[in-house]
Structure 1
């Protein structure tokens, strides 16, 4: 058999494998969308005639705030804080809810309808990006699929606390925040908090930074900075994670290679200088405006803090334990 024939056969097999992989991804995405749509469909169909289903599954107070922003940003580019009786100027901007408000106005949809569009689009983009990263880091197809399914359906051990509530603790839910925090639970976010799913696309910033490092091209840092800027106008506080993770990665390169990783240092500077504007706006908003400066105190009143390290395995579940085990075993600083 000639070399040309072998090359053609190898290419054909690779194409078939790639198609099979992405078919698996597509079926998984459709399955996730179907599962997360069923509760909304049931709620809509079972709502009594004298009531209205508002289009939200969980966390009603926060979602009412989001819908308030969506309504206000439909009528203008800035929103006042409508959850206080005190008069205040319209100084708040959020690109996501502005975009949702504008989309609803164009399509003639209410908040619930626009919210479903956000949920579907965010879920599809998040899962596609997740599998792309699985392909980047895992050579084995079975490992890719297993990791992808963990991302799509994995959750913490909060369900154990629910079992204890109804069997051992006489109706008391121990450590309730470990059940209600949605951000680390991909499936719960795709079900009920699509803005968190959309914010998870920040992972694309790290992918672009890695591509730039591999190709030694700073234009990817520019792309990463623009993506971080775009997402920063939705979730400005997540920029802290972006800068922190890239900073830690740069520091680990220094420890491993025993020399300054100039490419990543310059990349981090480029990403930061492009994307820091939403963070600056948020700091000024919550520092200079008397109403918005009090908003941050609500988090303190609610006790919404990151759980301590000993509770993280309950919050993050098997995926976290597996990642921790792999990190300790592989030791990337060796």
Structure 2
């Protein structure tokens, strides 16, 4: 252990770590501005829900899991579906955060945000240590840290294109948006602003690759490699797929170039293979033995944007990284060549025929950022071709100005655009007085085992805001989501077949109806005219009904001649 720590200390000085820490504090505080602003403008008439633009649907799930852990759970249930099921899902991060919140009497959103800050700082420190493996020059390491942490594409310059998409493409808009606007996994700054899950996953990826590449052998090196891989496999197994593919390709590359296998790489690769096989087997068994988890796995489709918006999203990073890879290959810099073996397979995996393809972009900003830094330094040093100092200075100034605009403008825009969005105090991010009142009623009166059928939008918020179960509320989490949405539409709108409506409530295990009065498209049926529900709450915006029936089991059929929805 002593030798392992000594080798680590030799690679990075204390002053460098202090710089990385201070840099991390500044960046994390900047990324927290929208959260602080939302909290600051929150009021009794517009209560901030502590959601962010990054991925509000994800936050609702995370808050719910933390709350379950706070309430004593060790294995998690799905609050977004009505099928009866036991808690079988194990998530070490949310379990730990929930227990910490329980001991310290913290709100779920508070411990979530604190964890995001701490994990973000750890991620930046590990990123600097990883960068140090590729650059001996300390100034170059610091430049690489800035570029890798803050760079993105040129979406800011594509705003007219984005506006056109929002106005003219009615379906699957997300596939047309530049990825630096919609895919948090692809860029370090969006990973840091998203959640502790993403930050810690990237930290573990960097740790695994750093331990895989290092020259010295030790028991503790293998121990930390295996432990990091196992933790990552339980937290975010998608990243372990990337690591396994990249490490395999790099071992094959070194074998082809050097005509022999290097034992240290082979042993480490075998350890990664073993951990991946164990984790993959664990999830395979879970998905095939638990219908709810299996249903979630089948519906968990997150697709990468089309190629053109993907290229816009990466912007200058791709040509710079290609130039950096070319120079690395030309000089036989095998350390930097490894980064090409990370970036290229990662890009290909993100377009592979896998339902979770977009998640495989996680961490690609690291090799792209480091290779781009190598290219930027080389381009900057080309100022030596100018005989006049003035010409060299102008060249350097123009180069740095253009690259700064191309790499760093979009992250700034995204952060301040979120603040602009918050200033409108719109639904989901803020709740008005009527919404607060109806949520308070449901929180106090709905039992933990009961399910709510809610108007669109509110069905998504309930599990993460008041931590109650819903019949349907998330296109990934709700089992048989598409079928249920058809049935829900039929339930709200179908004027006849009253017996079917009653049976729908019984079979769907639905105890409460939350109806928004303004949602005329859905709520065309007069529930006051039937005897199997009772009005228990009403204000200017909502009506809540309590069912007078005893739910039994999940239902399976639509009523005859019911309307279909796409």
TM range (shorter): 0.7 to 0.9
1:140 aligns with 2:103: no
Greater CA deviation, 31-40 or 264-273?
Answer: 264-273
| Superimposed CA distance per residue, residues 20-62 of structure 1 (whole angstroms, 9 cap, x where no aligned partner) | 5444323311211221121111100111314432322132222
Question: Contact 1:286–1:293 (CA<8 Å) still a contact in 2?
Answer: yes
Q: Give yes or no for contact 1:155–1:185 (8 Å, CA) kept in 2.
A: yes
Distance of 1:253 and 1:139 partners within structure 2: 22
How far is the alpha carbon of 1:310 from its aligned partner? 5.5
- Identify, as 1 or 2, the structure richer in helix: 1
Give the corresponding residue for 1:205. 208
Other-structure match for 2:47: 52
Cα distance change, pair 267–18 in 1 and its aligned pair in 2 (3 A): closer
CA offsets 1:224-268 (integer angstroms, 9 cap, x no match)? 011111222211222111211211111111111111233311221
1:134-173 equivalences under 5 Å are 134-166=131-163, 171-172=167-168
Contact 1:104 1:111 in 2 (8 A): yes
Distance 1:289 1:22 in 2: 45
TM score, norm. by length of structure 1: 0.84
In structure 1, C-alpha distance between the alignment counterparts of 2:117 and 2:307, rounded to whole Å = 33
5 Å-filtered alignment, 1:184-223, equals 184-201=186-203, 202-211=205-214, 214-217=215-218, 219-223=220-224
Q: Which of the pair has more CA radius of gyration?
A: 2
For the residue of structure 2 that corresponds to 1:215, the secondary structure is coil
Equivalences for residues 69-84 of structure 1 within 5 A: 69-74=65-70, 75-84=72-81
- Listed as ranges, the gaps of 5+ residues in structure 2 are 1-9, 338-566
In the TM superposition, what is the alpha-carbon distance from 1:163 to its structure 2 partner?
A: 4.2
Distance 2:13 2:271 in 1: 34
Is the 1:225–1:275 contact (alpha carbons within 8 Å) kept by the matching residues of 2? no
Map residues 73-112 of structure 1 onto 2, 5 A cutoff: 73-74=69-70, 75-112=72-109
1:80 is displaced (CA, Å) by 1.4
* Whole-angstrom distance in 1 between the partners of 2:182 and 2:130: 28
Query: Relative to structure 2, which stretch is displaced further, 86-95 or 282-291?
Result: 282-291
Deviation, 1:311, is 4.9
| C-alpha distance in structure 1 between counterparts of 2:196 and 2:97, whole Å | 12
TM-score (norm 2): 0.51
- Equivalent of residue 41 in structure 1, options 36, 44, 47: 36
- Number of residues of Structure 1 aligned to a counterpart in Structure 2: 313
Counterpart contact for 2:211–2:225, Cα < 8 Å: yes
Which one has a larger percent strand, Structure 1 or Structure 2?
Answer: 2
Q: Partners in 1 of 2:258 and 2:217 — Cα distance?
A: 16
Across the aligned residues of Structure 1 and Structure 2, the Cα RMSD in angstroms comes to: 2.6
Specify the alignment match of 1:262 in structure 2. Answer: 263
| Structure 1 position 275, deviation (Å) | 5.4
Checking the alignment, whether the CA contact within 8 Å between 1:134 and 1:147 is kept in structure 2 is yes
Contact 2:149–2:189 (Cα < 8 Å) also in 1: yes
